[in-house]
Amino acid sequence: MNLFSQPVDESSDRTRPLADRMRPRDLDEFVGQEHILASGKALRVQIERDDIGSIIFWGPPGSGKTTLAKIIARRTKAEFVEFSAVMAGIKEIKQVMLEAERARDYGVRTIVFVDEIHRFNKAQQDAFLPHVERGNIRLIGATTENPSFEVNSALLSRSRVYVLNPLTEEQIILLMERALADEERGLGILKLTAKAEALARIAAYSSGDARSAYNVLEIAATLAVEAAGGASGGVIEKALVEDALQRRVLRYDKAGEEHYNLISALHKSVRNSDPDATLYWLVRMLESGEDPMFLARRIVRMAVEDISLADPHALEIAIAARDAMDFMGLPEGGLALAHAAVYLAIAPKSNALYLAYGAVKRAVEETASDPVPLHLRNAPTRLMKELGYGEGYKYAHDLEEKVAEMECLPENLKGKQWYYPTEEGVEKRIRERLAALKAKKGRMRQ
């Protein structure tokens, strides 16, 4: 944690990982994020004008957050202090803030880079706030989590948030080709060639994470050299890449925003009657390590929220899938979840009951103290009968029409309707049934 030092260029150290050695040194080497770094775009203009305020970089792993912070420090000739949220405490933060304040008195600007800023607690984040406000430091935070939830609102309001996107497969391949050709920092001295399908396999594996791609490429390069008997001129084949790969690790955090993004995608695919997208998001979550019982619970919710009485069997199938998963576990239970999810996707849809439930809930909150009408109350004692409990109640089974012209709501809600069945699936019959019942009651009133 050296305060008065520019970021050290350690790219010539061959013992360092390839990802570190190939880290871009300036904007011309940087690949990706054109939406903020292309000519005339906001961040590019700020950097070129040397007009950097406090910034939060929000993006997935390997998208260039740390690299951008170091490039900014070089371009703006500011002192650079790097914090790790898992290593630094309040004491270290306050010490560095004090030194930054003294440096400012001598006209020296300080950029404080906080990696994984979402891991800082409120007290740690608050320690930066007064120094950001007074201009003692320019804070650059990096986070993989939504800063709206993970960064203090006061600190967030004083920072500009830039969203970084995962790199495309084409961009990942470009970076690997550079590494294979670069003799100073990369793998160029090995004189390797790589098959197009091998690089494509690594790019697909990396899920937009450049660091992950570099790591696999480095292992594959070592295997290629070994296959060539230690001589230069080895070839990175797809088979070597497969050897270098462990089980694919998808970009997914069961406790983070990506968890909610994916379950949202699954639910909305079901709601939009898209069985292929439904199956994709379900399998992707399962393969990423999601708790299958969490998915089972969400599938049950979809059945009652988005299908409901348009297909009453949907809930039965969802519950059966949950029980099957509980009974068999993975991998067999995954097929039961797929069975239920695809059934829900192709089933007729209705949110009529969901909307009715919400409307009734609001009515209950507003009229919670309204008494039950006397004719709907049981009268097990003489006193209750004398008070009118049960008086006027009509037993529907004794009536020819099997329905009584009798109000079952409190007086101030008399005649209210909340449930409006749709024309979808079974609800079409329910709609017709309710219309017939309403007509019967109307005739009884005449």
Domain ranges for the chain = 18-163, 169-244, 257-346, 373-445
**Does the pLDDT at position 6 exceed 70?**
no
Tokens of 331: 């991998």
The yes/no answer on whether domain 169-244 falls in CATH 1.10.8.60 is yes
Chain Cα centroid distance, residue 278: 17
Residue 11 is which amino acid? S
- 413 or 83, greater pLDDT: 413
Q: Which residues contact 44 (CB under 8 A, 6 or more apart)?
A: 27, 36, 37, 38
Q: What is residue 4's predicted lDDT score, i.e. its pLDDT?
A: 43
Residue 228 is which amino acid? A
Chain Cα centroid distance, residue 433: 43
**Does the pLDDT at position 295 exceed 80?**
yes
Q: What pLDDT, in 10s, does the model give residues 310-330? A: 999 999 999 999 999 989 888
Q: What is residue 172's predicted lDDT score, i.e. its pLDDT?
A: 94
Q: What is residue 357's predicted lDDT score, i.e. its pLDDT?
A: 92
Q: What pLDDT, in 10s, does the model give residues 103-127? A: 776 777 788 888 888 878 777 787 7
Section 121-140 average pLDDT: 80
Name the residue among 167, 173, 213, 218 with its Cα closest to residue 196: 173
Q: What pLDDT, in 10s, does the model give residues 371-385? A: 888 888 888 888 888
Task: Give CB contacts under 8 A, 24+ apart, made by 333-336.
Answer: 333/292, 334/283, 334/286, 334/292
Give the dihedral sign, CA 5/11/14/20: positive
141: enclosing H helix or E strand: strand 138-143
Section 11-20 average pLDDT: 74
Q: What is residue 356's predicted lDDT score, i.e. its pLDDT?
A: 94
Q: What is residue 348's predicted lDDT score, i.e. its pLDDT?
A: 95
The counts of H helices and E strands in the chain are 20, 7
Name the residue among 370, 292, 299 with its Cα closest to residue 334: 292
**Does the pLDDT at position 278 exceed 60?**
yes
Q: Are 141 and 105 in contact (CB under 8 A)?
A: no
Q: What is residue 11's predicted lDDT score, i.e. its pLDDT?
A: 52
**DSSP alpha helix (H) spans, 288-351:** 292-302, 313-328, 332-346
34: enclosing H helix or E strand: helix 34-37
Q: What is residue 257's predicted lDDT score, i.e. its pLDDT?
A: 66
Fold adopted by 257-346: Zinc Finger, Delta Prime; domain 3 (1.20.272)
Tokens of 227: 């296959």
Q: What is residue 1's predicted lDDT score, i.e. its pLDDT?
A: 42
**In the predicted model, what is the mean pLDDT of the chain?**
85
Q: Which of 136-150, 273-287, 310-324 has the lowest mean pLDDT?
A: 136-150
- 74 or 253, greater pLDDT: 74
pLDDT-based confidence at 163, cuts 50/70/90? very high
Q: Which of 23-37, 123-137, 210-224, 295-309 has the lowest mean pLDDT?
A: 123-137
pLDDT-based confidence at 420, cuts 50/70/90? very high
Section 198-214 average pLDDT: 89
**Does the pLDDT at position 77 exceed 90?**
no
Q: Which residues contact 406 (CB under 8 A, 6 or more apart)?
A: 375, 392, 393, 394
* pTM of the predicted model over 0.75: no
Name the residue among 201, 287, 277, 202 with its Cα closest to residue 252: 287
CA distance 24 to 71: 8
- 46 or 253, greater pLDDT: 46
- 125 or 343, greater pLDDT: 343
Among 325-334, 341-350, 406-415, which range has the highest average pLDDT? 341-350
Q: What is residue 441's predicted lDDT score, i.e. its pLDDT?
A: 80
Q: Which of 68-72, 243-247, 318-322, 416-420 has the lowest mean pLDDT?
A: 243-247
Fold adopted by 18-163: Rossmann fold (3.40.50)
Which of helix, strand or coil describes residue 300? Answer: helix
% of the chain residues with pLDDT over 70: 91
Count of CA atoms in the C-beta half-sphere (13 A) of 358: 6
Name the residue among 180, 185, 182, 184 with its Cα closest to residue 199: 180
- 188 or 1, greater pLDDT: 188
